[in-house]
Amino acid sequence: MSKVTHFDHPMIQHKLSIMRDENTGSKDFRELASEIAMLMAYEVTRNMPVEEVDIKTPITTRKFKMLAGKKTAIVPILRAGLGMVDGMLKIIPAAKVGHIGMYRNEETLQPVEYFCKLPQDIGEREVIVTDPMLATGGSAIDAINALKKRGANSIRMMCIVAAPEGIKALQEKHPDVDIFVAAIDDELNDKGYIVPGLGDAGDRLFGTK
Ligand code: PRP
Ligand code: URA
C-alpha cells in the first residue's frame, strides 16, 4: 500500500486557510498555491538520492553531496495542476515539465483525457504529478494510467486538498504511488466537491466559472 504524507505545517496550513476563504481572489489564490507547492516540494524530494562529488572551493577540494540518480519530471494535471508548477520549479529548477489534460464530466464525474505531452525519457525520471484537488480520485487515477502507459515507472502524487474517498481510490488503483497532501478534508458532497474544500480550484486559479 502506498504511503500518504500529510503536511501539518503551520505555514502551509495558514496559507491553505486563506485559499479556502471564498473572498480570496485569483491573484492571491495563485500565489498561495504556488507557495504551498514550493513548501511541499521540499518534503516530496526528501528521499531523493545524493552522491559525493569533488567540488573545488576557493580554498580546497572536497567531496560534497549533490543529487544523484534519476532526474525529475513534474506533470501537472491541466488545468488546476498548473498552479503548482512554478513553486515546484523554484525547488527543482532542472525538472522537465509534462502536461496531461483532464476534465471531469460534471454529470458523470468521470475524467476525460484531452491532452498529453511528456518528456521523451519519462521512464527514466522520477515523476511528480501535481493537482491541487484529489476528490473522487478519478482524474489522478486516469492521469497516472496514462503516464504508466507511456513508460513512467516511478510516480508520486502531490495535491493540496484531498478527500478520504480520493485517497482510498488512488491507493487501491495505484498502490505504488505515494501521495503527498496538505489537507485531508471530511468528505465529498453529492456534486463531487470536497467538503469543506476550497471550491473549484481551476476556476479560482484562472478566474473562470
Ligand atoms: C478538478 C481538479 C482535479 C479534479 C479532481 O479538475 O483540478 O483534476 O477536478 O476531481 P476528481 O478527483 O473527482 O477527478 P476539473 O475537472 O475541474 O478541471 P480543471 O482543472 O480544468 O478546472
Ligand atoms: N475539483 C475541484 O476543483 N474542487 C473540488 O472540490 C473537487 C474537484
What value does the mean pLDDT take over residues 1-29? 96
Q: What's the 95 CA to ligand 2 centre distance in angstroms? A: 27
CA-CA distances (angstroms) from residue 112 to 45, 104, 129, 159, 192? 30, 6, 17, 19, 15
- Nearest protein Cα to ligand 2, atom 3: 200
CB 131 within 8 A of CB 100: no
What was the pLDDT predicted at 105? 85
Alpha carbon 96 to its chain centroid, in Å, reads 14
Q: What is the pLDDT of residues 148-194, one digit of tens each?
A: 999 999 999 999 999 999 999 999 999 999 999 999 999 999 999 99
Indicate the pTM of the whole model: 0.94
Was 194 annotated as part of a binding site? yes
Counting ligands in written order, which one lies closest to the CA of residue 109? Answer: 1
What was the pLDDT predicted at 141? 96
What value does the mean pLDDT take over residues 14-18? 98
Does residue 22 register a pLDDT over 90? yes
Please, which pLDDT band fits residue 97 given cuts at 50, 70 and 90? very high
Mutational pocket test of ligand 1: of 139, 142, 171, the residue with most ligand atoms within 8 Å of the beta carbon: 139
In the structure grid, which three cell numbers stand for residue 47, read together?
A: 528521499
CA angle 51, 125, 183 (to 5 degrees): 95
What was the pLDDT predicted at 102? 86
What value does the mean pLDDT take over residues 11-38? 98
In whole angstroms, give the CA distance from residue 164 to residue 136. Answer: 9
In whole angstroms, give the CA distance from residue 132 to residue 111. Answer: 15
What was the pLDDT predicted at 46? 87
Q: What is the ipTM of this complex?
A: 0.97
Q: What is the pLDDT of residues 100-157, one digit of tens each?
A: 998 878 788 788 899 999 999 999 999 999 999 999 999 999 999 999 999 999 999 9
What was the pLDDT predicted at 103? 84
In whole angstroms, give the CA distance from residue 5 to residue 114. Answer: 30
In whole angstroms, give the CA distance from residue 125 to residue 35. Answer: 24
- Nearest protein Cα to ligand 1, atom 18: 103
193 lines ligand 2 (CB under 6 A): yes
CA angle 200, 143, 86 (to 5 degrees): 60
Was 20 annotated as part of a binding site? no
Please confirm, yes or no, whether 104 is among the known catalytic residues: yes
Q: What is the pLDDT of residues 32-78, one digit of tens each?
A: 999 999 999 988 998 888 999 999 999 999 999 999 877 999 999 99
